[in-house]
Amino acid sequence: MNKLTIRDIDIAGKRVFVRVDFNVPLDEKTGVITDDGRIRAALPTLKYLLEQKTRIILCSHMGRPDGKVVESQRLTGVAKRLSQIVNQPVDMAGDCVGPEVEQCVANMKPGEILMLENVRFHPEEEEGVPFFAQALARLGDIYVNDAFAVSHRCHASIVGITNYLPAVAGMLLEKELDTLGRIIEDPAHPFAALVGGAKVGDKVDLLENILKKVDFVLVGGGMAATFLKAESYEIGKSIVENDHLQVAAGLMNRAKNNGARFILPLDVVVTEEIKPDAKATVVPVNNIQPNQRIVDIGPETIKEFTKTLRGCETVFWNGPMGIFEIPQFSEGTRTMANTIAALKGTTVIGGGSTAEIVASLNLADKMSLVSTGGGASLQFLGGQKLPGVEALLDKDSPVAEKLKVRR
């Protein structure tokens, strides 16, 4: 990665504005954090900044409040959880901009942490309004992006602020970019991409970009229905992206031409109705009935996928194999997670719901990387540039010397 990081510059004692992604899942009834993985992922950066006696100003969003204050999406609980993790107080600001917040920052001592309120309570954040970015920038001397998951957004706290402060990468962002970059540029072979989830459309760029790199593409989840229909199978009531049938067929043909195996399910779990007590049936893919819907991969497919993955040195996984939330439709996803966790090679989980599943199964620490960003990782692996990364200073930038880069 050719971007400046917090280790490259002299930040001792400075006010460091850190964009993190603490958009953690909450229990709908109690509001309690159900998975603090995204908070813990930022710890290497925070610990380094604390060692440097910086004043840490944390900025994050929570949910989609659409520019309005939503009480259930305040970051008070996040600040409390972070204080428990780092074993020191984390003060909570009443807003993310304005005179009162600036005074809070002015009162900070070296080694202290201040959590700003949900930046998306202001519509100017997602609109990328310059004056709002300037207001955020007034709080810091240095800007650090450690929020890979939202680096594909052109928001004020991600891109706009870099016009007013020297901008560098945090350790989490650096790790994400380095690991994802390696599996695209120089992966160890055999290399398999396991893709699932609902839509083919979300992963077209990813698949097209990695087809020349992978040895295997394994397809499960709801998107398997589109590929199966492209192969002229009856897929019953399964949701199909009819506008992507030709795309699916083209991807399979290109994989074949590139010498990669495109492996579709051999059998699937189907049901007539998706509900918690629904009856699940296993059928070969050539025996799906018009009134049935695919909800998971079947046991023969699990065996085939498992055998393939166990022979690989690099595995990238994005998207569940079925409706994981319903136990009788979750076996395929569970088995894939456990299989990948047991591998000795490079294993990368592509964020989003897949990361949450791995965390729920207590397997996150057995993976090489559990990406914090679903959309961002897909965009990056799809060959697209991330605005939040592009906005950071290059290591060979003329500004680098002024920032006292450590050679």
> Do 75 and 117 form a contact (C-beta atoms < 8 A)?
yes
| Confidence band for 322, pLDDT divided at 50, 70 and 90 | very high
User: E-assigned strands of 279-319?
Assistant: 281-284, 293-297, 314-318
Q: Percent of the chain having pLDDT more than 90?
A: 78
| Confidence band for 31, pLDDT divided at 50, 70 and 90 | confident
Q: Is the pLDDT of residue 308 over 90?
A: yes
Q: Which of 3, 14, 19, 38 is flagged as catalytic? A: 38
> Do 292 and 283 form a contact (C-beta atoms < 8 A)?
yes
pLDDT of amino acid 404: 60
Q: Which residue has the higher pLDDT, 376 or 157?
A: 157
Determine the length of the chain: 407
Rounded to two decimals, what is the model's pTM?
0.87
Distance, first Cα to last Cα, the chain: 16
> What residues contact residue 232 under an 8 Å CB cut-off, 6+ apart?
none
Q: Percent of the chain having pLDDT more than 70?
A: 99
pLDDT digits (tens, 9 = 90+) for 152-174: 999 999 999 999 999 999 999 99
Q: Which of 359, 321, 325, 353 is nearest to 341 (CA)?
A: 359
Q: Which of 199, 261, 366, 395 is flagged as catalytic? A: 199
pLDDT digits (tens, 9 = 90+) for 239-279: 889 999 999 999 999 998 889 999 999 999 999 988 888 89
CA pair distance 32, 12, nearest whole angstrom: 35
> Do 79 and 57 form a contact (C-beta atoms < 8 A)?
no
Say how far residue 252 (Cα) sits from the centre of its chain. 26
| Confidence band for 406, pLDDT divided at 50, 70 and 90 | low
pLDDT of amino acid 396: 85
pLDDT of amino acid 236: 94
- 199 catalytic? Reply is yes
Which one-letter DSSP state was computed for residue 382? Answer: T
93-128 burial, b if ≥16 CB within 10 A, otherwise e?
bebbbeeebeebbeebeeebbbbbbbbbbbebbbeb
Segment 331-340 shows an average pLDDT of 97
Please state which of the ranges 14-18, 32-36, 39-43, 219-223 shows the lowest mean pLDDT. 32-36
Cis status, amide bond into 190, omega within 30 of 0: yes
Q: Please state, as a whole number, how many other Cβ atoms lie within 10 Å of the Cβ of residue 329.
A: 23
pLDDT of amino acid 407: 47
| Confidence band for 400, pLDDT divided at 50, 70 and 90 | confident
> Do 357 and 320 form a contact (C-beta atoms < 8 A)?
yes
- 375 catalytic? Reply is yes
Q: Which of 196, 236, 345, 352 is flagged as catalytic? A: 352
Rounded mean pLDDT of the chain? 93
Q: Please state, as a whole number, how many other Cβ atoms lie within 10 Å of the Cβ of residue 67.
A: 13
> Do 36 and 42 form a contact (C-beta atoms < 8 A)?
no
> Do 245 and 219 form a contact (C-beta atoms < 8 A)?
no
- 352 catalytic? Reply is yes
Q: Is the pLDDT of residue 405 over 60?
A: no
Please state which of the ranges 123-132, 337-346, 355-364 shows the lowest mean pLDDT. 355-364
- 382 catalytic? Reply is no
- As beta bridge partners, residue 114 has 57, 91
> Do 350 and 372 form a contact (C-beta atoms < 8 A)?
no
Q: Is the pLDDT of residue 297 over 80?
A: yes
pLDDT digits (tens, 9 = 90+) for 172-223: 999 999 999 998 899 999 999 999 988 888 888 888 888 889 999 999 999 9
Tell me the chain's radius of gyration from C-alpha atoms. Answer: 23
Provide the residue type at 26 as one letter. Answer: L
Q: Which residue has the higher pLDDT, 37 or 113?
A: 113
Phi (first) and psi of residue 312, to 5 degrees: -105, 150
Q: Which of 37, 77, 111, 375 is flagged as catalytic? A: 375
Which one-letter DSSP state was computed for residue 98? Answer: S
pLDDT of amino acid 137: 98
CA pair distance 27, 35, nearest whole angstrom: 10
Q: Domains in the chain, ordered, with CATH? A: 15-176+386-402 (3.40.50.1260), 189-344 (3.40.50.1260)
> Do 268 and 298 form a contact (C-beta atoms < 8 A)?
yes
